[in-house]
Amino acid sequence: MNFQEANYWLTTVSMPSATPGDLPTRADVAIVGAGFTGLSAARTLAKRGITVTVLEANTVGSGASSRNGGMVLTGMKLDISTLASRYGIETAKRMYAASLASIDLVEQIVREENINCDFSRCGHLEVACKQSHFDSYARSAEVIAKEFNHQLRIVPRRDLPAEIGSVIYFGGMIDETSAGLTPTRYVAGLAQAALRAGATIYENARALKINRGPGGDFQIETTRGNILAGDVFIATSGYTSSTTPALQKKIIPIGSFIITTERLADSLACELSPRNRMIYDSKHYLHYYRLTPDNRMLFGGRAAFFPETKSTVQRSAEILRRGMIKVFPQLKDTKIEFAWGGTLDFCFDTMPHAGQNDGMYYALGYAGHGVAMATYLGTKIAEKIGGGSDEIPFAGIPFPGAPLRLYNGKPWFLPFAGAYYKVLDWIS
């Protein structure tokens, strides 16, 4: 198969120029990582007059924030019944409310900062790969309506053609609150907003060591020199490294991959996705897909479990193309133009977490649901650093490490986890 091993979204925007020159000697707050989490935090802090410097190992948005599907989704990776049984119904309600508020926040930032990122409340469609999956939708929708006062719509199989041009599914469930955007344009807009508000952003500035200095400040050694900071916010998600060993041991970096086709004729695009929804299926080893604003089919999944390399992207592109044709045989002769990958950040409990560790703030663990939640937790942690007292529902929950501590940050068990989830998809 002939395609560019490159991120299609990067063709849609030029990233803003970062701050030129040397690092300042000190900032009130240093943020490590220039993705949705770090940049939304930088914007919030700078707007409050706090001096803030973002340290980015590569370039603005070069992590998952430029590589994702652009699906701005309600809910979290875990379903509502798991959340309620694990944390109790009241905490689950606050978490769900936070997921809805996170989408409102993205919309508000896009409007306030005038970010041209194709944000649209197009809704999402979850499609059932088995009859039993479809049967569970009615129960979920009922609980969500009763406990969370949020309406989802069930789509029986006979009505699916109005939603999707595929015959392989057993029905669907729609949430009209979800949205879609172009992630590179959004992350570029967040960076511009942070810079406008007075934040500084340094690229190719990898934080190597972070220690507490004698005067109480943190001393951060980077590949571009050293900086002192009163507070540090770690916003490194799936790219968390041995710079913060305690966090690295709590994050499992998992690869996710995407292909995009050539541009489709309007009639074909409309046949495949008549309402232009953000779509994903009901499997653990799931596929997610959508049309891009210029009518390409963007089709993603965890085709290889290991993070992005030349070989995992190549292998994943083939697997994803086969998956796409199973869903949409109409695309069997359509050219694949781009394929790329990125790294997701899963915690051992599949939950987002935000709080403080070794005196440093962090927010991560989005598990593939990070476009809105990273914006939200980045903003909320920044408000906390700035003196705010809002409760963050993901801050008080236990943050487990690996069972039996059998993990040093190198995920040797991914092939076994991959096999386990494939079996689970087969039997459940």
Residues that bind ligand FAD (CB under 6 A): 32-38, 55-58, 62-65, 67-71, 73, 206-207, 235-239, 241, 243, 256, 258, 300, 342-344, 364, 366, 368-371, 374
- Tokens 């041009």 belong to 165
Smallest separation (angstroms) from ligand FAD to the CB of 59: 8
How many residues does this entry show for the chain?
A: 428
Q: CB-wise, 144 or 190, nearer to ligand FAD?
A: 190
DSSP per-residue string spanning 253-271: EEEEEEEEESPPPHHHHHH
Q: CB-wise, 64 or 92, nearer to ligand FAD?
A: 64
Q: CB-wise, 204 or 428, nearer to ligand FAD?
A: 204
- Cα 424 versus chain centre, distance: 24
Query: 259 with 289: CB under 8 angstroms?
Result: no
Give dist(CA 27, CA 364) in Å, integer. Answer: 23
Pairing mode, strands 200-202 and 52-55: parallel
Here the tokens at position 166 are: 């595929």
Smallest separation (angstroms) from ligand FAD to the CB of 156: 26
Residue of minimal Cβ distance to ligand FAD: 370
CB atoms < 10 A from the CB of 279, how many? Answer: 27
Sequence letter at residue 169: Y
Q: CB-wise, 77 or 133, nearer to ligand FAD?
A: 77
Q: CB-wise, 62 or 282, nearer to ligand FAD?
A: 62
Exposure on the CB side of residue 186, measured as CA atoms within 13 A:
33
Smallest separation (angstroms) from ligand FAD to the CB of 36: 4
**Cα 287–Cα 115–Cα 75 angle in degrees, nearest 5:** 35
Q: CB-wise, 172 or 341, nearer to ligand FAD?
A: 341
Smallest separation (angstroms) from ligand FAD to the CB of 427: 27
Query: 33 with 210: CB under 8 angstroms?
Result: no
Query: 109 with 375: CB under 8 angstroms?
Result: yes
Smallest separation (angstroms) from ligand FAD to the CB of 67: 5
Q: CB-wise, 89 or 319, nearer to ligand FAD?
A: 319
Please choose, from the candidates 90, 35, 26, the residue with its C-alpha nearest in 3D space to the C-alpha of residue 67.
35
Smallest separation (angstroms) from ligand FAD to the CB of 14: 17
Q: 240-243, long-range: CB within 8 Å, 24+ apart, which pairs?
A: 240/345, 240/364, 241/409, 242/409, 243/32, 243/206, 243/207, 243/208, 243/209, 243/210
Smallest separation (angstroms) from ligand FAD to the CB of 374: 4
Greatest alpha-carbon span in the chain? 68
Smallest separation (angstroms) from ligand FAD to the CB of 33: 3
Q: CB-wise, 264 or 364, nearer to ligand FAD?
A: 364
Q: CB-wise, 63 or 172, nearer to ligand FAD?
A: 63
What does R_g of the chain's alpha carbons equal in angstroms?
A: 21
Query: In terms of DSSP H, where are the helices of 29-130?
Result: 36-47, 64-67, 80-87, 89-112
Write the DSSP symbol of residue 4.
B
Q: CB-wise, 170 or 186, nearer to ligand FAD?
A: 186
Smallest separation (angstroms) from ligand FAD to the CB of 392: 15
Smallest separation (angstroms) from ligand FAD to the CB of 234: 8
Give dist(CA 114, CA 108) in Å, integer. Answer: 10
